[in-house]
């Protein structure tokens, strides 16, 4: 039995299917959606070793011709060089516009395989099968695809929506604890930016979530996907409200880049970025000190980091200046107004603002 959330984008609309132990019905679900029969399953060796066979067999059993291709495991491989190996694989296997891609993995696989789908032959259909919590609540939904550049996160990419997002929450059982809690950072983000009641629910369900209680996880994932789907439907290409999903990300991306991609998990960096954003919000009288403490405490309760690594202010500032959100030298920060709402504020004096926080 799959729960279903719709991302409503006119002709680019697609469903998010959420189930438990549902991977083996993937083939029938894809067949129902009339997807190409020839599919490249892009994954990595870690995930392929656990779930590759189930996905492959399910596709085969429903008339698909799956081919498997692994990229190396790790954020440091979300690069144009690895993207090139995906193109090589598709071209050497004579993929054409009647073929498709399945991204089987976390945010790294999803982002790079999605970008391959967006650009190969000017776009072929693809499906997201997110296998980390972070990918299930965030990166697989909304069509942001990208690779990193040495000078900045996700600087090369495209908006390109999948045909379907297929979530099996049982795959989270094999996820390492550090990767699991990294995904919780994005869940906390939804509470802070959009839903005070959800934030309170998270405060009251820390242990259930950490224990991977199925009911609690289903609720948190469903709620997160609903919030993201609604925001993406309102603003697919980040012309307005979608920017609020970047809460904590400008500073988080700087941490990821400065520490060398892969050292910090994306969700861990976002956790610290949210604390920094909350402190700036408090300084600007947008929220109370108590709000900052609640955000900080909730992240700590999930064993997430809340302290910035000690890079020089000048390094943070230089890195943030290269962020995608900078326009003509001004950085737009997403700041929380209390808990459950946000505002966007343009910051011209980046050094000054961050010097008081770091």
CA distance 284 to 338: 11
Beta strands 330-336; 342-347: pairing state: antiparallel
Please say which residue, 175 or 296, places its beta carbon nearer to ligand NAD: 175
Contact residue for ligand NAD among 30, 39, 44, 52 (CB under 6 A): 44
Q: Which residue is nearest to ligand NAD (CB)?
A: 107
Q: Which residue is nearest to ligand GLY (CB)?
A: 245
**Annotated catalytic residue 246:** yes
- In degrees, rounded to 5, the angle at the alpha carbon of residue 242 between the alpha carbons of residues 293 and 320 is 65
The entry of ligand NAD, ligand GLY, none near residue 106 (CB within 5 to 8 angstroms by kind) is ligand NAD
CA distance 263 to 67: 31
**Annotated catalytic residue 149:** no
Contact residue for ligand NAD among 30, 42, 102, 175 (CB under 6 A): 175
For residue 215, the cross-strand partners are: none
The CB-of-172 to ligand NAD minimum distance in angstroms stands at 6
Contact residue for ligand NAD among 29, 75, 168, 236 (CB under 6 A): 75
The residue from 122, 204, 307, 327 that is catalytic is 122
Please say which residue, 176 or 197, places its beta carbon nearer to ligand NAD: 176
Please say which residue, 69 or 251, places its beta carbon nearer to ligand GLY: 251
Contact residue for ligand NAD among 223, 242, 257, 266 (CB under 6 A): 266
CB atoms within 10 A of CB 22: 19
**Annotated catalytic residue 284:** no
| Farthest CA pair distance, the chain | 60
CA distance 27 to 315: 48
Q: Which of 18, 1, 268 is nearest to 136 (CA)?
A: 18
332-to-43, 146, 248, 347 alpha-carbon distances in Å: 35, 21, 12, 6
Give Cβ neighbours of residue 67 (< 8 Å, ≥ 6 apart). 38, 39, 40, 41, 89, 93
**Annotated catalytic residue 237:** no
46 touches ligand NAD (CB under 6 A): yes
Q: Give me the half-sphere count of Cα atoms (radius 13 Å) on the Cβ side of residue 322.
A: 20
Q: Scanning residues 129 to 188, which ones bind ligand GLY (CB under 6 A)?
A: 138, 142, 144
CA distance 104 to 248: 27
The entry of ligand GLY, ligand NAD, none near residue 242 (CB within 5 to 8 angstroms by kind) is ligand GLY
242 touches ligand GLY (CB under 6 A): yes
* Burial class (CB within 10 angstroms; exposed 0-12, middle 13-18, buried 19+) of 76: middle
Please say which residue, 108 or 282, places its beta carbon nearer to ligand NAD: 108
* Burial class (CB within 10 angstroms; exposed 0-12, middle 13-18, buried 19+) of 305: buried
The CB-of-75 to ligand NAD minimum distance in angstroms stands at 5
**Site residues, ligand NAD (CB under 6 A):** 44, 46-47, 50, 73, 75, 78, 105-109, 111, 131-132, 134-135, 138-139, 142, 144, 153-154, 171, 174-175, 179, 182, 265-267
Binding region for ligand GLY (CB under 6 A): 138, 142, 144, 242, 245-246
Question: Which residues participate in catalysis according to the annotation?
Answer: 122, 144, 186, 228, 238, 242, 246, 249, 253, 266
């Amino acid at each position: 039995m799959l729960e279903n959330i719709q991302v409503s984008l006119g002709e680019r609309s697609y469903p998010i299917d959420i189930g438990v132990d549902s991977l083996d019905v993937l083939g029938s679900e894809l067949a129902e959606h009339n997807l190409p029969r020839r599919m490249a399953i892009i994954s990595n060796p870690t995930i392929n070793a656990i779930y590759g066979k189930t996905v492959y067999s399910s596709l085969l059993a429903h008339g698909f011709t799956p081919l498997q291709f692994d990229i190396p495991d790790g954020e440091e491989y979300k690069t144009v060089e690895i993207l090139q190996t995906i193109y090589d694989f598709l071209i050497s296997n004579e993929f054409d516009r009647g073929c498709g891609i399945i991204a089987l993995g976390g945010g790294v696989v999803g982002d790079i395989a999605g970008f391959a789908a967006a650009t190969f032959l000017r776009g072929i259909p693809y499906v997201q099968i997110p296998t980390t919590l972070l990918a299930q609540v965030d990166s697989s939904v909304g069509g942001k695809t990208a690779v990193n550049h040495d000078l900045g996160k996700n600087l090369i990419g495209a908006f390109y929506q999948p045909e379907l997002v297929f979530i099996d929450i049982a795959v989270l059982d094999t996820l390492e604890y550090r990767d699991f809690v990294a995904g919780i950072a994005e869940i906390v983000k939804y509470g802070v930016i959009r839903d005070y009641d959800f934030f309170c629910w998270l405060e009251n369900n820390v242990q259930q979530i950490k224990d991977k209680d199925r009911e609690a996880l289903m609720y948190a994932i469903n709620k997160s996907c609903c919030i993201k789907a609604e925001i993406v439907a309102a603003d697919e290409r980040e012309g307005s409200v979608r920017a609020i999903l970047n809460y904590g990300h400008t500073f988080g991306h700087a941490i990821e880049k400065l520490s060398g991609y892969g050292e910090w998990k994306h969700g861990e960096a976002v956790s610290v970025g949210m604390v920094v954003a909350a402190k700036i919000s408090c300084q600007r009288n947008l929220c109370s000190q108590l709000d900052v403490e609640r955000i900080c405490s909730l992240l700590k309760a999930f064993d997430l980091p809340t302290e910035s690594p000690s890079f020089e202010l000048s390094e943070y500032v230089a890195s943030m200046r290269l962020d995608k959100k900078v326009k003509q030298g001004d950085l737009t920060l997403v700041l929380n107004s209390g808990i459950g709402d946000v505002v966007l504020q343009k910051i011209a004096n980046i050094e000054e603002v961050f010097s008081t926080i770091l």
